[in-house]
Structure 1
Amino acid sequence: MQQLVKRHISKYIEQQKSKFPIIAVTGPRQSGKTTLLKNIFKDYRYISLENPDVRAFATEDPNGFLNEYNNKVIFDEVQKAPLLFSYLQGIVDESKIMGQFILSGSQNFHLMQGITQSLAGRVALFKLLPFDLSELKANNLLEDSFAETCVKGFYPAIYDREIQPGIYFTNYIQTYVEKDVTELLNIKDLRAFRTFIGLCANQAGQLLNLSALANACNISQPTAKNWLSVLESSYIVYLLQPYYENFNKRLVKTPKLYFYDSGLLCHLLKIKTSEALTKNRLKGNIFENMVITELQKQNYHNYLNNEYYFWQDNHANEVDLLMSTDEGFSIFEIKATQTITSDLFKNMDKFEANASPKKVEKTLIYGGLENQKRSKYKILSWRDPK
């Protein structure tokens, strides 16, 4: 299986495979995990636990299964056979072989549960998300405008097989999202769940309002919380946490909701073209979603281990993205506009005043194409966020 787009994460996996007995790669379905691993580990056997016969073997006779597949093996969707994790622990502790097993999975909760319970300290863990902007740029696949890019999204199949985004995402929801849902939760009313996903899309880039989601779907708040956890576990949405340090003000402590892919987000909002996006009232939220997710992708794909937050006080002063640094903070304002005005910097300046005497690096990421380096600010095009 030939990899058409070189994934940045490849070199970091290569670096760690001689240092850990197990490499684990998690990420959304269809983000390219299987292709990536088959390209890096060409001499390894590939075993998919999606296959019912293989899964039955692994579940009913784990000793026999691991006698058969005991070295240089990729186990895909390994969370479907959770018994294997404790057996793998014993094997790698005894063998001391580095890179002995490669694990991958698209349900983060079950995969991480297996790793933390049985394999802690034995695994180098990676997250592979859909393409990031620099991967697309390097292969001349990046669209000219952020609106086109947002609507198209970043899933590899859209680029590799030139599938129309609308067709791809319709099938993605039916084939993968609802499949994961039925496996993780016994949801009898899929229509209500589809409504729930659509309402989550309307909250993208905003403070999470779980009670509003529950009321609109006519479900209880604990049910809404469970449904949201499934979407998180399946890499559809994620929550960005607020930064709590109190600069003598009351701070918002509710997380914000984002989608891992702007194309799926646009599809759920029934935005089918770049023209429709530019006229949509949620344009700013969608742009913010794309940029913040891009920075998360760079974080995971380049193995940086940064922790991102947002900051907002009770007067609605807000910083879209914040990262703590050794000297203070690196903060980002994210605006879809293509015109730079002084108003775009005022929230960052307010934060800097509150954070004093700590040093604050201020970056504006906007919808235009030109980068600028000013004395007090860095200004980056959406095509080059860093």
Structure 2
Amino acid sequence: MIPRKIQKQLLHLWAGYPVVTITGPRQSGKTTLARTTFPDLRYVSLESPDIRALAESDARAFLQAYPAPVILDEIQRVPQLLSYIQTMVDESGMNGQYLLTGSHQPQLSAGISQSLAGRTGLLRLLPLSIQELSDAGITLERDDYLYKGFMPRAYRNVLEPHTLYSDYFATYIDKDVRQIANLNNLSTFETFMKLLAGRCGQLLNLSSLANDIGVSSSTIKAWLSILEASFIIFRLPCYYENFGKRLLKSQKLYFTEIGLATWLLGIREPAQVARDPLFGGLFENMVVLEALKARCNAGKEPDLYFFRDSAGTEVDLLFRKASDQLIPTEIKGAMTWNKDFAANICKLRKLSPKFTSGFVVYSGDMTPISNDVKYINFKDAAQIVD
């Protein structure tokens, strides 16, 4: 197993809460993390039909058969257990009792807000980060990262990425989408996902997507909620504050697994990546997700935004380090250093003293500091949120 940065936070929360809940996309390593961190805990998978049947029919008998401390995997399959767990932990008054994992946010978030509020520590585990791979002695070239992606299975097995993500997509459609929503036409939903992959790093336009697919904007909105609920996509909000200009209140869209986006675009070998007209969006997606992973692995809220106003001033990523400190970052896929990469950051700093220093993340190896902007290689993108 490749060691996960989030493990430190897991141990910390386990000591301070009666329940810890790990959420995240399917196959991001939640079960492996739980079982390797706590190898002596009893493990129960609610994916098993007979075990799930007992939990659904007689929750008390289930919890007596599998007493705490225990790992309950895929807890969203039986969300009614959460109310009974609340009673158990309130009676025991002890920390470190139930370690829950789940892939579907709607059932978990509703159950947690109703039953486990104040009783559970929450962690979101995303696919592997470049930093985690590097610490494990695994270093790839830029286009190989974009092609292979960051799913743990991609580094544990010898499966080709196109096979891995084809199977992943089929499993997601069958097990997740069908459980969250009733879709009349799965092929239309698949087309929708392929169009989304082509919009990585772009402003989200519901009407445009609806017109391209031939469905209503409300349907697109519902489908996006499904993807976000199952951790397939991440929506980056626009930072809004009155800096004297009209700012665009919109969102940008990214995939939590760049390998899936690359596969959806029909890229079947690393040599195709840089030649693809959507390369810039894919590269930006990878860098933004590295920042998001670093925040999640530290057990913190993302505090990530982008900036764009009606005058055309735009910066790819903003990190709100403090209430009075916003760190801007521009993301460029090029391998050659160019001082003009920081032009928009310099413009942005004139709007408010809250915009401090900044970064340019690119594919090159030169790391100068120019106009108080630090240039870094994409493999060090986690520095953005340090």
Task: Say which is worse superposed, 226-235 or 368-377, in terms of deviation.
Answer: 368-377
Shift of 1:181: 0.5
8 Å contact kept, 1:369–1:382: no
**1:219-298 to 2 correspondences below 5 Å:** 219-298=215-294
Judged with a 3 Å threshold, the aligned counterparts in structure 2 of structure 1 residues 375 and 210 are, in CA distance, closer, same or farther, namely: closer
**1:299-310 to 2 correspondences below 5 Å:** 299-310=295-306
Distance 2:62 2:121 in 1: 23
Shift of 1:359: 4.9
Secondary structure in structure 2 of the residue aligned to 1:332: strand
Shift of 1:21: 0.1
Q: Does 2:34 correspond to 1:26?
A: no
Secondary structure in structure 1 of the residue aligned to 2:274: helix
TM-score, length basis structure 2:
0.96
8 Å contact kept, 1:43–1:72: no
Please name the residue that 1:182 is paired with: 178
Q: Does 2:351 correspond to 1:384?
A: no
Distance 2:155 2:238 in 1: 34
Q: Does 2:76 correspond to 1:79?
A: yes
Please name the residue that 1:40 is paired with: 37
Distance 2:21 2:375 in 1: 36
Please name the residue that 2:197 is paired with: 201
Secondary structure in structure 2 of the residue aligned to 1:103: strand
Distance 2:366 2:52 in 1: 52
Q: Please, what is the CA RMSD of the aligned residues?
A: 1.3
1:88 pairs with one of 73, 80, 85? 85
Amino acid at match of 1:39: T
Distance 1:254 1:66 in 2: 45
Distance 1:8 1:177 in 2: 29
TM-score, length basis structure 1:
0.96
Shift of 1:304: 3.4
Please name the residue that 1:67 is paired with: 64
Q: Does 2:350 correspond to 1:353?
A: yes
Q: Does 2:105 correspond to 1:108?
A: yes
Please name the residue that 1:214 is paired with: 210
Amino acid at match of 1:158: A
Secondary structure in structure 2 of the residue aligned to 1:323: strand
8 Å contact kept, 2:337–2:366: no
Q: Does 2:120 correspond to 1:156?
A: no
Number of equivalences: 381
Runs of 5+ consecutive residues of structure 1 not aligned to the other structure: none
Judged with a 3 Å threshold, the aligned counterparts in structure 2 of structure 1 residues 166 and 359 are, in CA distance, closer, same or farther, namely: closer
Shift of 1:375: 5.6
Secondary structure in structure 2 of the residue aligned to 1:17: helix
Secondary structure in structure 1 of the residue aligned to 2:15: coil
Q: Deviations over 1:91-112 (max 9, x none)?
A: 1111011110010001122212
Amino acid at match of 1:110: Q
Secondary structure in structure 2 of the residue aligned to 1:63: helix
Secondary structure in structure 2 of the residue aligned to 1:383: helix
Distance 1:10 1:297 in 2: 13
Q: Deviations over 1:208-241 (max 9, x none)?
A: 0111222222222211111111111111111100
8 Å contact kept, 2:339–2:370: no
Secondary structure in structure 2 of the residue aligned to 1:331: strand
Runs of 5+ consecutive residues of structure 2 not aligned to the other structure: none
Q: Percent identity?
A: 40
Amino acid at match of 2:19: I
Distance 1:10 1:230 in 2: 28
Please name the residue that 1:123 is paired with: 120
**1:292-331 to 2 correspondences below 5 Å:** 292-326=288-322, 327-331=324-328
8 Å contact kept, 1:361–1:377: yes
Distance 1:358 1:47 in 2: 49
Amino acid at match of 2:72: F
8 Å contact kept, 1:107–1:234: yes
Shift of 1:325: 3.0
Secondary structure in structure 1 of the residue aligned to 2:307: strand
